[in-house]
Amino acid sequence: MTSGSPFPIPLTLSPSRIGSFESCPLKFRFVNIEKLPDPPTIDKYKGTIVHRILELLLKEDSTERTVEMARHLFDAVQYGAPNDEDFAYLELTSDVDHPFWIDVRKLVDTYFTMEDPTTVRPEAMEMRVEHSMGEFKLTGIIDRLERDNDGNFVIVDYKTGKSPSPNFVDDKMKAMLLYAWLCKQEKGSSPAALRLLFLKDGKAVETRPLENKVNFQLQRVKAIYGAIKRSCETGQFGTKKGPLCNYCDYRQWCPEFGGNPSRAAVEAPVVLGLKSR
């Protein structure tokens, strides 16, 4: 916190936090600056579980990455899930016929229609990357870094939703372009391709990380960091009323709905039944 700033200025920024600020600065403040409880959602937790299964699968020797192995890993992950806080919060059960687990199985099955995991050459999974951008560090987690047949890096990200229409592909690639830059800083070479695997409809989207597109994203991140910094210094975090408000856990503290944001720090942990982070 600089002297006089009502809120501490973050020293790190990830693509998801950037997206969160763009979606709604006030919600960003609640979640990322004040660290208020951020209740899990079924979709987010489903993503976590699917990522966990695929990470374990790709860590197996290439010949072991079979459908049978994926089923075995599914069973193991499902068995351990009741130890997750999110599992209890979402009131899930271990019943294999629960719609949650049916969906997870479908997503993993769809994965096998998209690529043959025995041919993948993984370099790292769930790889944490970070690099200084001057006043702050850009950080992120790459789902999978692999080598193509020519030995070049390829960054792969799993998405549990549907593939976007062509007009929204660039939007989905924003984070990947930043990962491409982070990969170059950490590994010394840029990836040859960025690939998103949309497991809901089994479609892959791939692009090359062109330098001008990467640079544009870096400039965008710097501009957003500047906006976050100003908000922290002035205490002014705007609202963005829209469809996402229907899913926002902080509506009762949002001025758009007659709430008082300054009460959230005390009331949210009690109302949401979770501790501040």
Q: Which residues bind ligand SF4 (CB under 6 A)?
A: 24, 26-27, 239-241, 244-245, 248, 250-251, 254, 256
Burial of 92 (0-12, 13-18, 19+ CB in 10 A): buried
The residue among 156 and 254 lying less far from ligand SF4, judged by its C-beta, is 254
Residue 276 CB, nearest distance to ligand SF4 (Å)?
A: 17
Q: Which is nearer to ligand SF4, 13 or 26 (CB)?
A: 26
Could you tell me whether strands 203-207 and 193-198 are parallel, antiparallel, or unpaired per DSSP bridges? antiparallel
Crossing angle of helices 15-23 and 211-234, rounded to 10°: 60
Give the integer Cα–Cα distance in Å for 208 and 7. Answer: 39
5 vs 239, beta carbon nearer ligand SF4: 239
> Which residue number, 26 or 49, has a Cβ lying nearer to ligand SF4?
26
Amino acid letter at 166?
P
Q: How far is the CB of 34 from ligand SF4 (least distance, A)?
A: 12
Residue 273's CB is within 10 A of a number of other CB atoms, namely 10
Residue 165 or 247: which CB sits closer to ligand SF4?
A: 247
User: Least distance (Å) from ligand SF4 to the CB of residue 4?
Assistant: 25
Burial class of residue 73 (count of CB atoms within 10 Å of its CB; 0-12, 13-18, 19+): buried
66 vs 252 by CB, closer to ligand SF4 = 252
How far apart (Å, rounded) are the C-alpha atoms in residues 249 and 37?
Answer: 9
Please answer whether residues 238 and 21 qualify as being in contact, where contact means their C-beta atoms are separated by less than 8 angstroms: no
Q: What ranges in 128-168 are assigned the alpha helix state H?
A: none
CB of 271 to ligand SF4, least distance (A): 14
Measured CA distances, 44 to 54, 60, 105 (Å): 15, 25, 16
The CB-of-43 to ligand SF4 minimum distance in angstroms stands at 16
146 vs 249, beta carbon nearer ligand SF4? 249
CB of 92 to ligand SF4, least distance (A): 25
**Smallest gap from residue 39 Cβ to ligand SF4 (A):** 13
At which residue do the structure tokens 């984070």 appear? 175
3-state secondary structure (DSSP) of residue 202: coil
